[in-house]
Amino acid sequence: MTESETMKTTRQASDCKKGTGTFCYAKESQSPFCLLSSFCLALFFALSGLAAADETRPAAAVPSFRSDVMPIFFRAGCNAGTCHGSARGKDGFMLSLFGYDPKGDYERVVTDITGRRVNTALPEESLLLLKSIGGVSHTGGKLFELDSEYYKTLHRWIAAGAPDDSVMPPEVVGISLPKQSVVFKKIGAYGTARVTATYSDGTSRDVTKLARFFSNNASVATIDKDGVVAAAGPGDTNVFARYSRFTVGAEVVVLPADEGFAWPNPPTNNFIDTLVFDRLQKLRIIPSDLCDDETFLRRVTLDLVARPPTVEEYQAFMADTAKDKRAKKIDELLATDDFADYQAALWGERLRVMGGNYSPDATVIKAANQYAKWIKTQFRTDRPLNEFVADMVRASGSNISNGPVNLYTMLVHKPRVEPKPLAADFSQLFLGVQIQCAECHNHPFDRWTMNDYYGFVSFFTGMQRKPGVEPREKRIFWDEKAAAAVNPVDGQRKPAKVLDAVEPVGGEGDPRAALAAWLTSPDNKLFATNLANRIWAQLLGRGVIDPVDDIRVSNPPVNTPLMDALAKRLVELKFDLRGLVRDICNSRVYQLSTQPTPSNAGDTRQFSHAHLRKLRADVLLDSVVTVTGVPRQMPDWPPGTRAIDYYPRSSGGTEGPDTGDPFFATFGRSTRGTICACETKDNPTLSQAMHLNVGDTVRDRLASGGVIKKLIETKSTPEDMLDELFIRTLCRRPTTEEMTGLRKMVGKNAKDPAVYEDILWSLLNATEFNFNH
Amino acid sequence: MKTSRLARLLAVMAACWLAAASPAAAQGLLKHVERVTPRIGQRGTTVEVTIQGTWLQEPREVIFSRPGIKAEGIEPLPKLPNMIGLAHGGRIEEQVKCRFVIAPDCPPGEHLFRLRTADQLSTLATFHVTPFPVVNETGQPHYTIATALSVVPNVTVCRNHGGSAHFLKVPAVAGARLSAEVDAVRLSDVHYGGGEYDLALRVLDANGRELAANDDNPLHLQDSLVSLKLPADLQGDSVFIEVSPSVPGGIGVTYCLHIGSFSRPLAAYPAGGPAGKPLAVKLLGDPLGDVDQTIPVPEAVGTFPFSSDGPSPLLLRSSPFPNVLEDAAAAETRVAVLPAAANGLLDKPGDVDTFRLSVKKGDRLRVRVYAATLGSSLDPAIRIRPVAADGTPGPIEIEADDADPMLVDREIFGPNFRSRGGLKDVFDPSFVWEPKADGDYLLEVRDMSGFGGPTGVYRVEIETPPDRVYVQLATGGNSDWVEATRYMGLAVPQGNRWTVNVNLPQGQGNSYRGGLQIVAEGLPPGVKLVSPPVPPGQSRWPVQLVADATAKPGGAAISFAVQATDPGKKIESGCQQWVPFINHSGGDAWRAVRTDRPIMAVTDSAPIAIDLVPPTIPLVRGGELAIPVKLTRRAGYDEPVEFQVEFVPQGVSQSPSEVIPSGATEATLRITAEQNAALGSGPLFIRATTLPQGSGELGCGRVMVSSEIITITVADPFVELASQPESIRRGAKGQFTFAVTHKTPFEGQATAKLLGLPKGVSLIEPLPVITKESKEIVFTIEATDEALLGAVSGLGCELMLKVAGQEIRQRAGNGTLRIDPRL
């Protein structure tokens, strides 16, 4: 829906929800009920394009178990995990979760407790009905009324002998809402979401009364059990309908009051600005101003090369008067090995690179080293991301001499390859999709089925390890004799099949080549979206889809055009990481100030201003080292190792979480215990503050490196000295107030290192230093 | 991380403990030789060598396993003032110096030796030979290009890496070949180690540009090598070679780096040829291009080294059948006649080579691939399928990937790797194929993971399996399967005996099932081998070396083999010994040294000799036999002596080791036969060992001798006993009777004793005696109120008798007694 399609609406007569409209809006001025009803109906026809005549699926004389009865179980919540859909059922009655096993459900409903749960002689005496209407004690309480359609349908089915489907009814192949976006201009406005299911025989059916609904943010918009959407507060969110195995959503925007709103029409640098500003304008949010040069320099240096700018870099940048000096700086940083190394560190964390000394895990230090080295080489040589991933996916051979094959040793740290966990982590990492939810039942909040899951698992059922030529080595290979994974519901093997596909990949032998080809194809929107979103999240602090590794229908992008454009751009760039980073960093959106405007202060989703981002643990440690000039001796690593090059090493196995150096545990570096992006913590803690205050990281570096003493020798005045310390630490000169106060503190001790060490200590403990802003 | 810290803490504690431990307390994995310095010498030179370890007093001779080096000037050095503790209980406290005279034609590479002292033959040690002058670098480290050590090729530079990278500066000319090879893992001489031996190489120009690099490689595994043609745009007149630990940090170990212009082929094609004939090969992988060369193939069948001008050879095959070379242009290559060796190259990823061969149903063919074994980069797999009548490939009849790791006769056997890995040879399939039909078959060769490249050489040898039985010195049951000198060493005191057990692994596809006779070759004068004929089905057997009183102390490299006892039957044989040098906790050995010529030595006469009085009567099933042990002591030698059975027939068990106390000369060995012990005769021997203080688990410091191999016979029991359930009341006397069935007649009387009576029931003397005429044994018993009511079972009878002056005990019967209450 476009802006022009929005209306001033407010919540009106409740009967509107009885209408047949989809996103049926009640106009504020229409008070008479009849007028309202007819308007809603008319509006529905106008907006949805789905008239009643479009419901082409005729009602059967005898309800179908799969098409009519099971949807009632779903709608009433009978087969939810908290009720009879739990693994052991509830109160002696079990249904498959969300109805993934119709055959089994039929047996359990009809043949268990014969004559009681379903009584075909006296249908109304059936426990199934009595419990549903609260006629007898029911832990789940009353679910619907005696005169409801749900009751009537179940009664008719039981009265007809509770038959199983003699012929398999057409399958639901999709559901839809007529609009993907709705805008409310006023709190209290409402409308009804109508859900239409389409079937494998081409028919369609209004299933609004059989669907379930939920909202992602009830403080913006609510949706009730009948699909009535109500505006609760300004902002944007999504509401969803689920029916059968499908979930569909629609964006809901609730506009703030428009008094005094005037879009400032800020300049745009590239497509990112256009799409973000479009969104902001729509939401009546005014973006912040551009950040200053000092802030930009520090921000982009920390983001791209994982350290603060040096004094020399600061002076050169500030002295540059070229209009495109920011773009030049971005290019300069992108061209460094440090950029590649930092990206390698981020990927090393995602890929769970850890080194041990327990041979059966195959994650010995040498293997980890080879893997880390290979990853770094890919980024240093500007390898396209799709090729980088494809190399790992296809890899076979030695864990200690063929780096990329360690995808199959590191992703899941176990003595043998375990296909299910591997498939789950693979999907989460490379697609952002948590496919594992479909292991026991069709994905409840996405479109993936158990067949999708087991077909995907079959890409890995042949992955094997065998001993190599020395104790540390394992040879990773695809065993051609391996069988495909079995879907436990039907007991059938599901040959390797990519997500979204209908047919298996086919062919003989190792299917991973086909997997790699599909995964990294420019046509695979899931892959490009996942990568682009992760790149964006690293630079902006939050994904367009967030969290980045839980992409699903029910967790859509906060700005779909932006997400699509970023993914498309990555494909256009042939998966060139530096290219997309260049675009993002050159955008005005990236360069916005953290200082909010009145209208964007509450915005945390739409990138209207920069947000304070706590430095990653490794970046913080390298920043301290850069400022003080004193390296950190990492346990089990050679002197001079940077934090971003460090991965945990141990003398045992690597199956458990490990951050290695205790500094990383304190400052939230990923434990690499799982594939989850949430392993990296960005919340400040008291122990972090205490560590920087009194721990050895800052304390031992103030004097030992002699930085202060060297500066004293080269700086002629205390002012120069203070300037240097501020630039070195915070990438800015001290304010007049700061300079005055600190100069007073220095007093006559202009050559006393102790006073400057205190000042440096203060700067390193400042929030300004610990955050990117 | 916690694990790491804990491990480090434990390591420190262990090190402290080792340092504080007295020699007598150090009962670890002790070796005689723990360190040899230097580790390498140039051929044609004489090198001063120091050998360090324990129990090296009175050094007499260094015995090498192959010609090329002679040791002279052997003399002890003063004992170290402070013992050096090593991992797992090893220690260094004594040292010996000598000169190694290296012949100009000495083969480069590893040479194995043992040190003979007055009464010891040391554990295995190694020394390496290089064709180049050796620079032992002990100066300041050369951590950067700027401080690189300048060397002139061709040269071998040795130093301790100390956990860091080192740089060497080498004169260079654009377009020239530069080769560098590391010896580190192969140079190791420690019992326990790991990644510190794993080094990587890089060649850089003056600007730090990487020109070549290597870490692991199929030829030498962890020992890296590079060979490159220096680029035309080479900057400057030098290049820099960086040697660094693959995983930086850790402890330092000694490595040697060979630097030169030598050729460094990575493979030869074909990888072997007919025995005794010249073979045209193409040497692959040299940076200046492939080289065609004709080399002589030795008469001896097997794997042989081919050396060019470099410090290490390539391995090739000598086979008693012709070569067939892959026709790369054809879809398949015909193997006209079998046996044959099919040779090919998987020269690109995904390559599959196909050979067509004609066979008959009933043929029995052993198909064995040689690729990884010889240093090829392949992990080969084989498929065999018949050709259908319409000429299309039929269904797969045989598919083979790796060989059974325990497969013995692939010219490696003995290493008992825990995880059944650790040998590259295992990657090469080997199987016996019995075709299901007459006709043509296709044999496909491919790489398991679709790898292929210019050095992807393979060779498939197809032949009727020859009858092969090998001899392998049996290891003891030590953890990490270190060399167990107690069991495997071959030191024979003058005028005495030493016996070891050997395994007799069967060749793949063996059809010979007859008896065997173990023989030895190369024994020095005055030494003979004694080994009873090996009956069919035996896989472990004792062999005894006997040095007569006139045998001069000295050593020799010998070999063992088997012959068929079936006259006219030819058995192929050989022997092999593997000694692990770097063990890895929880895994397989990193490196094991192989020799097919064990070193033996006659040592000075021992202070003890041990003898058994051969029994003249059989050991009966379920019975025990006492065998007198006679210890002969040299005058004045009164120390305790331990003895233990080392070989008994199947089903016979022996008592644990016993100690004959100071001054004593007699003891009794008791052996028992299980009820199901195999009937018949078999060998038995014991070894006796001195117990000097501080001697180790492996026998270092101990003088060991063995008894003669005697024959014992397991026979049916004298009697079989049966009983009916009996009852007795508390406070009453009663009888318990066994019915006697005589199985082996005996003379005289046997005293019987009832065993297994419960508390409160006692046996009333006199004990019954029986003769060969007796029909039953009747015991009188009495029960008191202490006896618990109810039935007890398991009552047995022990017969004690003397036959031919030897005491025999036999246990039999399984009776049941019920205790009833008083009336």
pLDDT in tens, A540-549: 999 999 999 9
Kindly determine whether residue A635 and residue B448, on different chains, have CB atoms separated by under 8 Å: no
d(CA A22, CA A193): 4
Evaluate if residue A164 carries a pLDDT over 80.
Answer: yes
Distance from CA of A662 to the nearest CA of B (A): 9
Q: Give the per-residue pLDDT at A54.
A: 53
Kindly determine whether residue A636 and residue B4, on different chains, have CB atoms separated by under 8 Å: yes
Evaluate if residue B808 carries a pLDDT over 60.
Answer: yes
Q: Give the per-residue pLDDT at A368.
A: 96
Greater confidence, A223 or B139? A223
Interface of B with A in 383-442 (CB under 8 A): 402, 405, 417, 419-424, 426-427
d(CA A707, CA A630): 9
User: Which segment, A75-84, A294-303, A360-369, is predicted with the most confidence on average?
Assistant: A294-303
Query: Could you report the per-residue pLDDT of A379-438, keeping only the tens digit for each?
Result: 999 999 999 999 999 999 999 999 999 999 999 999 889 999 999 999 999 999 999 888
Chain B: residue whose CA lies nearest to A639: B249
Task: Quote the mean pLDDT of chain A.
Answer: 88
Q: Give the per-residue pLDDT at B422.
A: 62
Kindly determine whether residue B419 and residue A471, on different chains, have CB atoms separated by under 8 Å: yes
Q: Residue B33: left if φ>0, alpha if ψ -120 to 50, beta else—which one? A: beta
Chain A: residue whose CA lies nearest to B195: A366
User: Which segment, A42-46, A537-541, B243-247, is predicted with the most confidence on average?
Assistant: A537-541
pLDDT tier at B482 (50, 70, 90 boundaries)? low
Task: Quote the mean pLDDT of chain B.
Answer: 89
pLDDT tier at A332 (50, 70, 90 boundaries)? very high
Q: Give the per-residue pLDDT at B2.
A: 39
Evaluate if residue A27 carries a pLDDT over 60.
Answer: no
For residue A615, give the nearest of A298, A313, A250 by alpha carbon: A298
From B7, B417, B449, residue closest to A651, measured CB to CB: B7
Percent of chain B with pLDDT over 70: 92
Query: Could you report the per-residue pLDDT of B683-713, keeping only the tens digit for each?
Result: 999 999 999 888 877 778 889 999 999 999 9
Kindly determine whether residue A471 and residue B590, on different chains, have CB atoms separated by under 8 Å: yes
pLDDT tier at A86 (50, 70, 90 boundaries)? confident
Query: Could you report the per-residue pLDDT of B486-510, keeping only the tens digit for each?
Result: 556 899 999 999 999 998 988 888 8
Q: Give the per-residue pLDDT at A357.
A: 83
Q: Give the per-residue pLDDT at A212.
A: 92
Q: Give the per-residue pLDDT at B587.
A: 56
Looking at beta carbons, which residues of chain A come within 8 Å of B249? Answer: 636-638
Evaluate if residue A305 carries a pLDDT over 50.
Answer: yes
Looking at beta carbons, which residues of chain A come within 8 Å of B427? Answer: 469, 475
pLDDT tier at A515 (50, 70, 90 boundaries)? very high
Q: Give the per-residue pLDDT at B388.
A: 93
Task: Give the least confident one: A341-350, A628-637, B146-155.
Answer: A628-637
For residue B535, give the nearest of B565, B562, B561 by alpha carbon: B565
Kindly determine whether residue B450 and residue A360, on different chains, have CB atoms separated by under 8 Å: no
User: Across-strand partners of B385?
Assistant: B442
Contact A446, A437 (CB under 8 A): yes
Chain A: residue whose CA lies nearest to B405: A467
Question: Phi and psi at residue A49, in whole multiples of 5°?
Answer: 70, 10
Evaluate if residue A501 carries a pLDDT over 50.
Answer: yes
* B590 in A contact zone (CB under 8 Å): yes
Q: Give the per-residue pLDDT at B481.
A: 52
Q: Give the per-residue pLDDT at A485.
A: 96
Task: Give the least confident one: A602-611, B28-37, B296-305, B803-812.
Answer: B803-812
Query: Could you report the per-residue pLDDT of A731-746, keeping only the tens digit for each?
Result: 999 999 999 999 999 9
Chain A: residue whose CA lies nearest to B216: A401
Kindly determine whether residue A660 and residue B584, on different chains, have CB atoms separated by under 8 Å: no
* A464 in B contact zone (CB under 8 Å): no
Residue type, B560: F
Greater confidence, B19 or A214? A214
Residues 6+ apart with CB under 8 A from A670: A349, A659, A679, A680
Query: Could you report the per-residue pLDDT of B149-171, keeping only the tens digit for each?
Result: 999 999 999 999 888 899 999 99
Kindly determine whether residue B419 and residue A472, on different chains, have CB atoms separated by under 8 Å: no
Contact B380, B458 (CB under 8 A): yes
Distance from CA of A481 to the nearest CA of B (A): 10
Evaluate if residue A50 carries a pLDDT over 70.
Answer: no
Q: Is the peptide bond prior to B766 cis by the omega test (within 30 degrees of 0)? A: yes
Contact A440, A424 (CB under 8 A): no
From A401, A477, A650, residue closest to B1, measured CB to CB: A650
* A478 in B contact zone (CB under 8 Å): yes
Q: Give the per-residue pLDDT at A480.
A: 86
pLDDT tier at A351 (50, 70, 90 boundaries)? very high
For residue A538, give the nearest of A347, A291, A288, A334 by alpha carbon: A347
User: Across-strand partners of B807?
Assistant: B802
Evaluate if residue A771 carries a pLDDT over 50.
Answer: yes
Contact B544, B709 (CB under 8 A): yes
Can you tell me the mean pLDDT for B422-451?
Answer: 92
Kindly determine whether residue A651 and residue B8, on different chains, have CB atoms separated by under 8 Å: yes
Q: Give the per-residue pLDDT at B407.
A: 62
Beta strands, E only, A50-111: none
Kindly determine whether residue B422 and residue A635, on different chains, have CB atoms separated by under 8 Å: no
For residue A615, give the nearest of A727, A766, A722, A735 by alpha carbon: A766
Q: Give the per-residue pLDDT at A87.
A: 77
Can you tell me the mean pLDDT for B221-237?
Answer: 94
For residue B154, give the nearest of B77, B264, B75 by alpha carbon: B264
Kindly determine whether residue A652 and residue B246, on different chains, have CB atoms separated by under 8 Å: no
For residue B469, give Cα distances in angstroms to A597, B466, B509, B572, B648.
Answer: 89, 10, 11, 6, 22
Query: Could you report the per-residue pLDDT of A422-460, keeping only the tens digit for each?
Result: 999 999 999 999 998 888 777 767 788 889 999 999 999
Q: Taking the CA atoms of chain B, what radius of gyration do you get in angstroms?
A: 33
Q: Give the per-residue pLDDT at B585.
A: 58
Strand-strand pairing, B726-729 and B806-820: parallel
Can you tell me the mean pLDDT for B453-481?
Answer: 82
Which of A359, A464, A470, A651 is the best residue to mutate to test the B interface, defined by the most B CB atoms within 10 Å of its own CB?
Answer: A470
pLDDT tier at B417 (50, 70, 90 boundaries)? low
Helix (H), strand (E) at residue B498: strand B497-503
pLDDT tier at A638 (50, 70, 90 boundaries)? confident
Evaluate if residue B476 carries a pLDDT over 80.
Answer: no
Can you tell me the mean pLDDT for B24-46?
Answer: 81
Length of chain B: 823
* A510 in B contact zone (CB under 8 Å): yes
Question: Phi and psi at residue B713, in whole multiples of 5°?
Answer: -120, 130
* B242 in A contact zone (CB under 8 Å): no
Q: Give the per-residue pLDDT at A445.
A: 74
Distance from CA of A313 to the nearest CA of B (A): 25
CA A79 to chain centre: 28
Kindly determine whether residue B246 and residue A369, on different chains, have CB atoms separated by under 8 Å: yes
**Paired tokens of B299:** 């008469």
Q: Give the per-residue pLDDT at A44.
A: 34
Q: Give the per-residue pLDDT at A37.
A: 35
pLDDT tier at A113 (50, 70, 90 boundaries)? confident
Distance from CA of B164 to the nearest CA of A (A): 8
Kindly determine whether residue B421 and residue A468, on different chains, have CB atoms separated by under 8 Å: yes
**Paired tokens of B720:** 């079989």
Distance from CA of A652 to the nearest CA of B (A): 6
Evaluate if residue B18 carries a pLDDT over 80.
Answer: no
Kindly determine whether residue A396 and residue B4, on different chains, have CB atoms separated by under 8 Å: no
Q: Give the per-residue pLDDT at B408.
A: 63
Chain A: residue whose CA lies nearest to B591: A470
Q: Give the per-residue pLDDT at A45.
A: 30
Contact B224, B212 (CB under 8 A): no
* A747 in B contact zone (CB under 8 Å): no
Can you tell me the mean pLDDT for A642-651?
Answer: 93
Looking at beta carbons, which residues of chain A come within 8 Å of B246? Answer: 366, 369
